[in-house]
């Protein structure tokens, strides 16, 4: 039996990582444009952050936009960019919840990085303005892909000495992020889609048919049952 509802079997607060999929299908089923699904998905993330805090989740990491997602129609991409600006603008809410926000993705100074300047600014500001919070750490993966991250880590590691597991780990985008305890994917797809392949090597996996805008407290609790 678990002795506490706040810690993973390893004794530290739980790390939950979510592949937030199914916004488009959620909207399609309602005869709404896909963009409405993304808007609702962002709102749901804000709701889920509140719930996760009450469950004493230590780290919540979410896949917001992948290195592969740039090929989507321009209007959809623009809408999703705006939603990330909005998400990183939720500083007052995050401070009220004592949540520290982070970002991970292709570093802004790399030639292949795609995060536009106005989103970079929102990200930098949110990181700065929530840096002192000591509660849950919310990490948003944007312009993120695990392959790009591992290649980047390997390249850096090679300049430092022997490339072993510890060297790769030290050079991941966010080396302080603990291993994922439970990886969630919504909307019925049984794929990992290039998300945190290194960090999820030993994690439990929770798949649900529900699309992301409907991933609620009961769903989070079901996922947490896998690790508590």
The residues that touch ligand IPE, with contacts defined as CB under 6 A, are 19-25, 63-66, 69, 80, 187, 189, 191, 193
Cβ–Cβ < 8 Å for 178, 224: no
Select from Mg ion, ligand IPE, none the partner in contact with residue 146, using the beta carbon and a kind-dependent cut-off of 5 to 8 Å. Answer: none
3-state secondary structure of 183: strand
36 binds Mg ion (CB under 5 A): no
80 binds, among ligand IPE, Mg ion, none (CB under 5 to 8 A by kind): ligand IPE
Nearer to ligand IPE, 146 or 171 (CB): 146
Nearer to ligand IPE, 25 or 100 (CB): 25
Selecting among 21, 44, 143, 171, the annotated active-site residue is 21
Rounded distance between C-alpha atoms, residue 38 and residue 188, angstroms: 17
Task: Give me Rg for the CA atoms of the chain.
Answer: 17
72 DSSP 8-state letter: S
Closest of 145, 167, 144, 141 to residue 154, by C-alpha: 167
Nearer to Mg ion, 21 or 143 (CB): 21
Q: Which does 19 bind (CB under 5 to 8 A by kind): ligand IPE, Mg ion, none?
A: ligand IPE
Nearer to ligand IPE by Cβ, of 140 and 157: the residue is 140
The bridge status of strand 100-104 relative to strand 15-19 is unpaired
Strand partners, 65: 142
Among 21, 42, 143, 219, binds Mg ion (CB under 5 A): 21
Residue where the block lists tokens 């039996």: 1
- 25 near Mg ion, judged by CB under 5 A: no
221 is catalytic: no
Q: Is 187 left (phi over 0), alpha (psi -120 to 50) or beta?
A: left
We find the least distance from the C-beta atom of residue 212 to ligand IPE, in angstroms, to be: 6
CB atoms within 10 A of CB 191: 10
Residue in 69, 143, 171, 181 annotated catalytic: 69
Active site residues: 21, 69
């Amino acid at each position: 039996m678990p002795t506490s509802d706040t810690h993973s079997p390893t004794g530290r607060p739980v790390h939950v990582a979510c592949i937030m999929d199914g916004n488009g299908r959620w909207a399609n089923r309602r005869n709404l444009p896909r963009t409405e699904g993304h808007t609702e998905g962002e709102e749901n993330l804000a709701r889920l952050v509140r719930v996760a805090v009450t469950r004493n989740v230590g780290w919540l990491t979410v896949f917001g936009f992948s290195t592969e997602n740039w090929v989507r129609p321009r209007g959809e991409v623009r809408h999703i960019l705006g939603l990330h600006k909005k998400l990183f603008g939720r500083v007052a809410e995050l401070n009220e919840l004592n949540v520290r926000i982070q970002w991970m993705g292709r570093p802004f100074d790399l030639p292949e990085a795609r995060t536009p300047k106005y989103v970079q600014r929102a990200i930098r500001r949110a990181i700065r303005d929530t840096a002192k919070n000591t509660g849950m750490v919310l990490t948003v993966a944007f312009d993120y892909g695990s392959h790009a991250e591992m290649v980047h880590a390997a390249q850096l590691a090679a300049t430092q000495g022997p490339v072993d597991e510890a060297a790769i780990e030290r050079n991941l985008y966010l080396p302080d992020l603990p291993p994922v305890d439970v990886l969630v994917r919504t909307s019925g797809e049984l794929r990992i889609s290039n998300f945190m392949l290194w960090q999820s090597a030993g994690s439990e996996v929770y798949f649900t048919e529900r699309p992301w805008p409907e991933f609620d407290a009961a769903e989070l609790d079901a996922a947490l049952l896998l690790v508590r």
